Amino acid sequence: MSHLLDPKAGATYLLMGNEAIVRGALEAGVNVASGYPGTPSSEIIENLSRIAKERNIYVEWSVNEKVALEVAAAASFAGLRSLCAMKQNGVNVASDFLLHLVYSGTRGGIVLVSCDDPGALSSVNEGESRYFARQLEMPLLEPGNFQEAKDMTKWAFELSEQLKQIVMLRSVTRMSHASGNVSYGALPETKRKAEFKFKGFILDPEEGIITSAPVEWRHKEQQDKIRKAKEIFEESPFNTYEGPDKPELLIITSSACYLYSKEAVEVLNVQDRVGILKLGTTWPLPPKLVTHYLARTEQVMIVEEVIPFMEENVKVLAAEKAGEIGAKKFFGKNEGVLPSVGEMNPDFVISAISSILGIDYSPVSKEYDQSAKLSAFVHAPARDQVFCPGCPHRASFFAIRRAIELDGRNGFVCGDIGCYTMAVRPTGFETLKTVHSMGSGMGLASGFGKLGLFGMDQPTFAVCGDSTFYHAVIPALINAVHNKSNVTLVILDNGGTAMTGFQPHPGQDFNVMGESMPAIDMARICEAIGARVEKRNPLDLEDTLHTLLEMMEDKNGVKVLILSQYCALSPQRRGKKDYELSVDETVCLGEECGCGRFCTRIFRCPGLVWNKEKAKAEIDQVICVGCGVCADICPRGAIKRKEVA
């Protein structure tokens, strides 16, 4: 049995933040869960899927975040409890539906979990989802530790039902992927029956139709809910204060930043000078509570990630109450004591408190610090992110890059979101020249492909992964074909949503529960749209290269090349070597060759190493996974591959 299903109230486990959210949802009796994979949110749906059968929960990976939220909302409309999980930019994708959903209101408890990634540790943005709560006028909760991640999720369902409104729970990477002790509550019996009621009076929230119109009526109802949320938040146990009665400095904080603030106060030993107001209900702010603490201090610092959301909201409140509590001196991101880009950490908070209170702090002597930093600078060279040994993307980009060079017309590739995004780096031969959001590579290529009118003759490619194709590329491909844009789309099909952990997508014949499902064939979709479609194995470099060159010559609209090969870490390939690789030292000429160590300098598979003493290449047998591609790139043919029987 999964530790997440332990029925014993009071049992304590070490849970990842995302697991704590799952346990909270289970304790709330969640019925339906949906999402689209994205770091740092993926473990929520994954963990729920593993225990779905035991708890009679319907779990799905949806095609994208907008559809995921619609699936979860349908459950709410039918009176069930549902959860929808996504990473920060997923909320952008879902936001059009969300705008309308907050007007129409909801029935069964529904919680939107957004896992933001301050510092972009696994993203190409550090976008804020919290602003949606203010912009779309819905309640926002942010857990400040692992226990709260569980307790708050459970409560979010109750709050949603009380308000008849979706509730957003925002986590961050350092909460979702960090772990801590969580004490369990009881698991309820889930007995809800789904029924969508619509025959009542048109405006009846329980039995009428569910729409965002009449807009002003619904909008007013929505704002009444926010007013009610404020009252509820005034009494919430998730808002806590620790510190002296009249602190010299009041820190207002939330989420992981609470833990950093607590640490900083401890390190500086200023518990009797600095107070911490930790807010769990961050939109709408509970005005009485916040005013109560503002009144007791002259100086306020807001600690949060990433941009000054809470800072702005607190300042508005402080301005409204200035007559009662007087003017305050504010510190934070706007006035510059804390950074407004990147992720927060205890050290930023330590240095901010030190500068405000005039404390001289350094954790180690200057000599030690400089010496340790110099040693690392000289002897610990940075690790650039690289494709794994045997990754099909390395082979695909090697072929694409080569085709563009041979063609000679300064062609380029528009990138997309997945492991293959790393092809902006040397590991992918710096092949990608644009990277934005899911599906944007094909959309941009569609646009570039029409610029012949203005004299542009550079061949244009887009690349996307298989899961990305279903998520957002199809409309862009339709656009390109319909508008006769002259471009080539290369689909890097590695058999799953590989980057986030092999979640299944609609191209596969099974779902997250392991049940058999109809696969939506991407080649047939592309053909039906009207593109010319070819399929190749990227590990066959020659064949792939020829196909690419030939497609660049074909000026008849949109071409699609599907490069299919399983991810090197996938269950299908992991631990299975197709070839034994070796370097024939009698053939490798080393520095004398003139290739300039092509295998280790350019191709750069981690399985290839340069033996300085011998001045020859060699294979690191611990790292090599035996894909065999390097045997094709050595100009001397010194790398030998032997098929593994």
Partner 1 sequence: MTTSKLPKDPYSIVITGVGGQGNVMASRVLANMLVKKGYYVTIGETFGASQRGGSVMSHIRVSNLSAWSPQIPAGKAHLVVALEPIEAIRVLARYGNPDIKVLSNLRPIYPAGVIAGEASYPNEQEIRTILEKHTSKYWLIKATEEAVKLGNPILANVMMVGATCAIGDLPFDRNDFIDAMSQVLSGDKMETNIKAFELGFSLLMK
CA 301, CA 304: separation in Å to the nearest integer? 10
The pairing of beta strand 179-183 with beta strand 608-611: unpaired
Give residues in contact with partner 1 (CB under 8 A): 3, 12-14, 39-40, 121-122, 145-147, 173-175, 177-181, 256, 259-260, 262-264, 267, 345-347, 350, 362-365, 368-369, 371-373, 375-377, 379-388, 419, 422, 426-427, 499-500, 597, 600-602, 604, 606, 608-610, 622-623
- The minimum distance between CB 266 and partner 1, in angstroms, equals 9
Distance of CA 504 to the CA centre of its chain: 17
Q: How far is the CB of 242 from partner 1 (least distance, A)?
A: 11
For partner 1, the closer of residues 365 and 516 by Cβ is: 365
Nearer to partner 1, 99 or 609 (CB): 609
Q: Please identify, using beta-carbon distances, which residue of 101 and 499 lies nearer to partner 1.
A: 499
Dihedral sign, CA of 602, 607, 612, 618?
Answer: negative
Instruction: Report the residue number, 135 or 385, with the smaller CB distance to partner 1.
Output: 385
Which of residues 198 and 368 has its CB atom nearest to partner 1 in the complex? 368
Residue with tokens 């949906």, as numbered in its chain: 34
Cross-strand bridge partners of residue 276:
242, 251
To partner 1, the closest distance from the beta carbon of 149 in angstroms equals 11
Question: Least distance from C-beta 207 to partner 1, angstroms?
Answer: 44
User: Least distance (Å) from partner 1 to the CB of residue 304?
Assistant: 15
Is residue 100 within 8 Å of 411, Cβ to Cβ? no
Give whichever of 363 and 518 is closer to partner 1, judged by the CB atom. Answer: 363
Minimum CB separation of residue 92 from partner 1 in Å reads: 19
The upper half-sphere exposure of residue 309, i.e. CA atoms within 13 Å in the direction of its Cβ, equals 24
Cβ nearer to partner 1, comparing 7 with 408: 7
Cβ–Cβ under 8 Å, residues 415 and 435:
yes
Whole-number minimum distance, CB 609 to partner 1, in Å?
A: 6
Task: Let me know: does 300 contact 306? Beta carbons within 8 Å.
Answer: no
Residue 361: how many CB atoms within 10 A of its CB? 14
Task: Give me the least distance between CB of 109 and partner 1, in Å please.
Answer: 27
- Nearest residue to 599 via CA among 407, 398, 380, 388: 398
- Cβ distance to partner 1 smaller for residue 40 or 332: 40
CA distance linking residue 237 with residue 566, whole number of Å: 49
- Provide the token pair at 352: 């901010």
Choose between 453 and 622: whose C-beta lies nearer to partner 1.
Answer: 622
* Three-state SS sequence of 187-234: CCCCCCCCCCCCCCCCCCCCCCCCCCCCHHHHHHHHHHHHHHHHHHHH
Instruction: State the minimum distance, in angstroms, from the CB of residue 177 to partner 1.
Output: 6
Residue 123 CA to residue 88 CA, distance in Å, equals 9
Q: Residues for the chain: how many in total? A: 645
Residues 111, 533: Cα–Cα separation, whole Å: 41
